[in-house]
Structure 1
Amino acid sequence: MHADNREKVAREAAEAGGEPPPPAVTLIPIPLFHVFGFMMALRSVAMGETAVLMERYDFIAALRAIERYRVTLLPAAPPVLVAMVKYEEARRRDLSSLLVIGIGGAPLGREVAEQFAAVFPNVEIVQGYGLTESSGAVAATVGPEESKMYGSVGKLASHLQAKIVDPSTGEELGPGQRGELWVRGPIVMKGYVGDDEATAATVDSEGWLKTGDLCYFNEDGFLYIVDRLKELIKYKGYQVPPAELEHILQSHPEIVDAAVIPYPDEEAGQLPMAFIVRQPNSNITKEQVMDYVAKHVAPYKKVRRVAFVPTITKSPAGKILRRELVQQALSMGASKL
């Protein structure tokens, strides 16, 4: 709603005997150099709405801003939902103005979404998926019913084509089968400036953008993001998606945050290793963490190493910096794990 129209709408609502809608206010804690943050800022300008920008992301500062500026829309990465569910500070603040959380930047697990919906039943979770190379959104949930498809990023945008491709054979795959997502349409980039080699490796001669994401569509056309292909852990020939294990770990009541990385191993190739941020006063052990995951996954996906840390290293956009965590794990040494 444009700011100049708010008084008019309020008057019309008052004359009709109803309550005026709350002013639309978007809090943008995501950096503007990231396509998610840039598109959300552009949206606010295009809609004539109020945008509140944060110099850098800080969870407590974000809660204060929601309360102070009566924020109605919050774009965020999945860890923000985890923090809102598990940190008591979120329940001490008046967040009643918040109507929608837009999730992007990383896969959101069904378990985390369901926990959030139970604690904040009046906040709609809108999930979306896009890339810088696709100039923004590729898919999104639209409306309350689609928003309840927890774990899915919604249906493909109307102006795009998509297919799931076996990254090894190039074969097109059907519903429910996991492979690399390829998209084609008018919003796909022309290429990387000054880098023809990278462009050729990313966009083929028919205009298909190879996203590098492991995904699948269900029978109803809803898209699910599993993980980045290059981040899959190779354990004894099996491929283990770190995001899948992170979703399980984040569902544990004594775990505030988690990240899973590949730890080098001569016999297995790579071992799934978890970095864990415990709840305050929690004494959960490494064995309990590994047992919890083992109950939910196939044997080859089990977490084999655990390290407890005060925070998980992330980018300004909220993405886990796995390479840095791998270096951190190696510097710790096996005796400390």
Structure 2
Amino acid sequence: MVPEIQHQILLSKPVIAFASSDSAHKLPLLKHGIVNIDSVEFESLMENQRGKKERAGIKVKQSDVATILYSSGTTGPVKGVALTHRNWTANIAGGMRPVRTIQTVGYCTVPLFHAYGMALSLRLMASGECLVITGGNRRFDMRKMYSVIEEYRVSQLALAPPLVVTMAGDAEVMDGYDLSSLEVVICGGAHLSKSTIERLKNRLPKVQLAQSNGLTETTGRVFATLGPDETRTEGATGKLMANCEAKVVDPETGAALPPMKPGELWVRGDLVMKGYVDDEDATAAVLGREGWLRTGDLCYINNQGYLFFVDRIKELIKYKGYQVAPAELEHLLNGHPDVVEAAVVPYPDEEAGQVPVAFVVRQPGSNIVGSEIKDFVAKQVSHYKRIRRVIFIDSLPRNASGKVLRKELVIKLSTLTSKL
């Protein structure tokens, strides 16, 4: 934890830090020190008017860096993503909605240091809506979340994918609370399986599930489902946001592909980052001269303009020359009644190159065995997509945005195999 913070400080080069009293000790000495946000000193800073005249002469350009957020590091070392004032202005403008007769009450449960949480919070505040934020315990309390929705009459709930999965199967606890104010559940950060979506719709039939697709490098979402009509399109993560261009290209040649043809998603516009901090090589690897950002996502766009996510290109499993998408197998596994959630990773094989291995979280009380899981998948896929091994696990490792940390599972798999 501390080494990670040190790396982030080296990238952002702060001169002052604002931290809670239980985290301040993890930070080094800075030029202007550390301010505890739960202290009297912080309260006085919020009320102090000194320095107002000096600040009036400061000029800020749209191209200036407003924030440095950090990529998940799923494709290498953690990188500092430089996002400008123009990036955030475009994000907020693209997400503004018509004026409502009833005020929106948004509840942000996702981290504010992530593009998802920050963008949602800024949009709600910019439109004068009500924003509810809770913090404290590392372990998320679903009962506390339901009570907050009930108490504040929350209409818009922002969740990371693992909490959507929990909520979809949380019948006994959920039924004890009044969630009638809830209109929309927003989910971003990772793709939801079809079975999870169906379970949530069955639990909350009047609530819209709004999904989105985006990156820290695109200031959050670039495709999103807005409104009840778009949320009804099964499997889609929405349509292109304002102030942005997108195309699907052949990953090898960069040639644009027609609708319904899977390829790499490229995006361009005011939402795209300025670049990675102090890393010109990494910036050049994803950001072309014409401003197109290579997302690394394998997707297709249908004839109505809806985006469908297939998988991360670098996570495709290569079995005897065939490409196997882990997301497809995970979708099947998550549809099994004895499975809470699952993740599929590659494992080296001398003959095939790579084979799919599944990490599975069983439903409480289930005694299902690996052979049953493998047979379940084998009946629904081609021979080269079959699961070759099943490993049962208590929970899947995830980052703050809810993405499964496949690299940790690959390491765990290597460790388990070496012990055999």
2:106 to 22, 26, 47: 26
Q: What are the within-5 Å matches in structure 2 for residues 75-90 of structure 1? A: 75-90=158-173
CA contact (8 A) 2:317 2:324 kept: yes
- Residues 203 and 309 of structure 1, relative CA distance in 2, 3 Å threshold: same
Letter of the structure 2 residue corresponding to residue 325 of structure 1: L
Is 1:290–2:370 an aligned residue pair? no
* C-alpha displacement of 1:224: 0.9
- Residues 275 and 333 of structure 1, relative CA distance in 2, 3 Å threshold: same
Is 1:168–2:248 an aligned residue pair? no
SS of the equivalent of 2:117 reads helix
1:117 to 190, 193, 201: 201
1:236 to 320, 327, 334: 320
Is 1:62–2:145 an aligned residue pair? yes
* C-alpha displacement of 1:59: 5.2
Q: What are the within-5 Å matches in structure 2 for residues 130-279 of structure 1? A: 130-279=214-363
- Residues 84 and 35 of structure 1, relative CA distance in 2, 3 Å threshold: same
SS of the equivalent of 1:317 reads coil
SS of the equivalent of 1:306 reads strand
Letter of the structure 2 residue corresponding to residue 66 of structure 1: I
- Distance (whole Å) between structure 1 residues aligned to residue 358 and residue 328 of structure 2: 12
Structure 2: state its 5+ residue gaps: 1-99
- Distance (whole Å) between structure 1 residues aligned to residue 335 and residue 146 of structure 2: 22
1:178-216, Cα deviation, whole Å (9 max, x unpaired): 110011112212222222111111111111111111110
Structure 1: state its 5+ residue gaps: 1-19
TM-score of the superposed pair, with normalisation by structure 2: 0.71
Identity of paired residues, percent?
A: 49
- Residues 93 and 313 of structure 1, relative CA distance in 2, 3 Å threshold: farther
- Distance (whole Å) between structure 1 residues aligned to residue 114 and residue 139 of structure 2: 13
Q: Which deviates the most, 258-267 or 64-73?
A: 64-73
- Residues 289 and 68 of structure 1, relative CA distance in 2, 3 Å threshold: farther
Is 1:51–2:140 an aligned residue pair? no
* C-alpha displacement of 1:271: 1.5
- Residues 187 and 316 of structure 1, relative CA distance in 2, 3 Å threshold: closer
- Distance (whole Å) between structure 1 residues aligned to residue 400 and residue 139 of structure 2: 7
Is 1:304–2:385 an aligned residue pair? no
Letter of the structure 2 residue corresponding to residue 155 of structure 1: K
Letter of the structure 2 residue corresponding to residue 245 of structure 1: L
**Residue matched to 1:91:** 174
1:54-74, Cα deviation, whole Å (9 max, x unpaired): 344625343444345443222
- Residues 167 and 90 of structure 1, relative CA distance in 2, 3 Å threshold: farther
SS of the equivalent of 1:111 reads helix
Is 1:40–2:116 an aligned residue pair? no
TM-score of the superposed pair, with normalisation by structure 1: 0.87
RMSD value, Cα:
2.2
SS of the equivalent of 1:311 reads coil
* C-alpha displacement of 1:41: 1.7
CA contact (8 A) 1:74 1:98 kept: yes
- Residues 75 and 174 of structure 1, relative CA distance in 2, 3 Å threshold: same
* C-alpha displacement of 1:109: 2.7
Letter of the structure 2 residue corresponding to residue 58 of structure 1: F
- Distance (whole Å) between structure 2 residues aligned to residue 92 and residue 281 of structure 1: 22
Q: Which deviates the most, 50-59 or 254-263?
A: 50-59
- Distance (whole Å) between structure 2 residues aligned to residue 105 and residue 313 of structure 1: 14
- Distance (whole Å) between structure 2 residues aligned to residue 193 and residue 174 of structure 1: 35
* C-alpha displacement of 1:335: 7.4
SS of the equivalent of 1:173 reads coil
* C-alpha displacement of 1:259: 1.3
- Distance (whole Å) between structure 2 residues aligned to residue 68 and residue 253 of structure 1: 33
SS of the equivalent of 2:314 reads helix
Letter of the structure 1 residue corresponding to residue 107 of structure 2: L
- Residues 117 and 79 of structure 1, relative CA distance in 2, 3 Å threshold: same
